Amino acid sequence: MELSQLLDRIRTQCDRLSLTGLNQVPDDRHPGLAAGPNQTPCSAAGPSCFGARLRPRAHGGSLPQLNAEEAAWAQVNLGGTALREARAELAEARKQWHCLQVEIESLHALVSTHTHMHRHTTVASALRQTHRVLSCLCHTPIMDQ
């Protein structure tokens, strides 16, 4: 399940719980759940109401509903941790990618330099060979037939 879908599900459940009267029980762990008549429910509170610490509840809400809520909050916390880890991995991958790009550019420059030097050496060698042939021809007497 995507993180945004999970957050929407939690907000919906939070609003449902606040409408059933659970919001009258003080709970500093989830501000939207403890909202009084003049406070906003979770869905209006935005992301700041998510990511709270998990600890045992002190009120007598229904156990299956509370377990589902605890599981949902645990999933949100795990999702946040996974997101931070993924961002750190992405940053490291970008650094490595940049280093590889620099190395590739350096190798391209090196290949270009070697290609130029090879051409120069080949031309110089051909000129020397031509010069030798010409000097041999010039010093060889032409024989009349």
pTM for this prediction? 0.38
Write down the pLDDT at residue 74: 82
pLDDT band at 87 (very low <50, low <70, confident <90, very high): very high
CB 23 within 8 A of CB 34: yes
Domain boundaries, the chain: 1-145
Q: Summarize pLDDT for 20-45 with one digit per residue, the tens.
A: 654 444 444 444 444 444 444 444 44
Question: Residue 105 has which token pair?
Answer: 């550019």
pLDDT score of 111 more than 80: yes
Crossing angle for the helix pair 3-19 and 63-139, to the nearest 10 degrees: 160
* % of the chain with per-residue pLDDT over 90: 32
